[in-house]
Amino acid sequence: MNSASQSPAAFRLIVTGGGTGGHTYPALTAIRTLQARLAADGRPLDVLWIGTAEGLEARVTSAEGIAFTTVATGKIRRSSNPLKMVSPANVRDMARVPLGVAQARKAVAGFRPDVVLATGGYVAVPTGLAARMCKVPLVLHEQTVRLGLANRKLAGSATRIALSSESSLPLLPQSVRSAAVVTGNPVRPEVLSGQPDKAVTALGLQFERRLPTVYVTGGAQGSQQINDVVGGELPWLLERANVVHQCGPAHRETLSARAAGLPAALAARYYLTPFVGPELPDVLALADLVISRSGAGTLAELTALGKPAVFLPLASAAGNEQAHNAAHLEESGAAVALLGEVTGRHLRDAVGPLLEDPVRRKAMAAAARSHGRPDAAARLVDVLLSAASG
């Protein structure tokens, strides 16, 4: 992905979006998939990523050797009170948008991409608008059930709108539905190739294999809510299951203290770790049930794998998107969504029937798999190539 190449045969792609993993990793997976597709035809790929210096995309592009540049951005701080939207910070940031658009237009005109892929986040807006100004095809990718704010702003300028869920189609404005296609949310290929026995070996697990295994995760930093609720129910949970608990670095000490009071037989079924790294695919393969947040990336992975899940959505997620994601799967029996204030009793009522009934878990797994699109990256690449060809 050498952006310095001037080969006329090179396919030129601008990616914009980021801030969080939910916007960044689907784009990265699409880049890798597109590169492999083009390489099979002997064609190189040149990529320029337009993002923010503070976002995850800056670190990811550096590690991947992808050319990267920044533009001025304006972040909208949302509020249910319209008057609070007109805050000094919002006014100041919105004044930066014209500068960002001018910078993005210069970058787009200079790079001369075949297509621009925007995956969301406020940094995507200037580049998306610049693509329209430069008459370059623009493909939006939406990871959640409802279009995020940036993609809503860009929808009217898009050549194609790639959605992760069929349920998103009726939520689109009628004027842009003809541009929509359901691709799914790209999932890293390695996530789909895990092996349970490798997790047992890598983590040195001494689990009771006749019991189901629960994977608890609150994301890389951990979730105070999930850790508190699960930590309070550890004796009950470990009577019924083995548990791999990814708690985040800041929460390890508290949970270790809780675990220290467990009987030896139960303690042997509990594996606590601040972070799960390369062994994640194998941990997911081992898990019979997952307790987690309900971000778009998590949903894409769990449905592609067909994993039963109990979701505790992050209440502060933009636009309450995690609650919508979780409720969407619960409606079809593909998960359980615990919304609002969640107590230990709520957790027991949700988890208990699934641990006690393999048939129920199997049915939920099948329902989850029906939502999964393990070929989402290939589908999104199809859309990019089609948009670029006109």
The predicted pLDDT at position 320 comes to 84
Q: How confident is the model at residue 2 (pLDDT cuts 50, 70, 90)?
A: low
Please say whether the beta carbons of 315 and 337 come within 8 A: no
Domains 11-186+375-389 and 189-371 share a fold: yes
Query: Mean pLDDT over residues 181-185, rounded?
Result: 97
pLDDT in tens, 219-238: 888 999 999 999 999 999 99
Widest distance between CA atoms in the chain = 67
Question: What b/e string do you get for 302-338 counting C-beta neighbours within 10 Å, with b at 16 or more?
Answer: bbbbbbbbbbbbbeebbeebbbbbbbbbbeeebbbbb
* Pairing relationship of beta strands 180-182 and 160-163 according to DSSP bridges: parallel
Please say whether the beta carbons of 161 and 171 come within 8 A: no
Strands ordered across the beta sheet of 45-51:
67-70, 45-51, 11-16, 115-118, 138-142, 160-163, 180-182
Query: Mean pLDDT over residues 330-343, rounded?
Result: 96
pTM: 0.88
**Is CATH 3.10.50.40 what the domain over 11-186+375-389 is classified as, yes or no?**
no
For 90-110, give the secondary structure using H, E and C.
HHHHHCCHHHHHHHHHHHHHH
Cα–Cα dist 138/161, whole Å: 9
- The structure tokens 């799914």 sit at 184
Cα–Cα dist 112/149, whole Å: 27
- Asked if pLDDT for residue 8 goes beyond 90, the answer is no
Backbone torsion region of residue 33, taken as left when φ is above 0, otherwise alpha when ψ lies between -120 and 50, otherwise beta: alpha
The predicted pLDDT at position 145 comes to 87
Query: Mean pLDDT over residues 109-117, rounded?
Result: 98
Q: Between the CA of residue 68 and those of 71, 99, 107, 153, 260, what are the distances in Å?
A: 10, 18, 11, 23, 47
Query: Mean pLDDT over residues 87-101, rounded?
Result: 71
pLDDT in tens, 296-323: 999 999 999 999 999 999 977 666 889 9
Q: Which of 94-98, 213-217, 300-304 has the lowest mean pLDDT?
A: 94-98
Q: Between the CA of residue 62 and those of 67, 69, 163, 188, 309, what are the distances in Å?
A: 8, 11, 28, 18, 34
pLDDT in tens, 237-256: 999 999 999 999 999 999 99
* Pairing relationship of beta strands 138-142 and 115-118 according to DSSP bridges: parallel
The predicted pLDDT at position 219 comes to 87
- Domain boundaries, given as residue ranges, for the chain: 11-186+375-389, 189-371
The H or E element containing residue 123 is none
pLDDT in tens, 117-136: 999 999 999 999 999 999 99
**Is CATH 3.30.70.580 what the domain over 189-371 is classified as, yes or no?**
no
Other Cβ atoms within 10 Å of 147 Cβ, number: 24
Query: Mean pLDDT over residues 347-372, rounded?
Result: 98
- Which residues lie below 8 Å from residue 3, measured CB to CB, with a gap of 6+? 46, 47, 48, 66, 67, 111
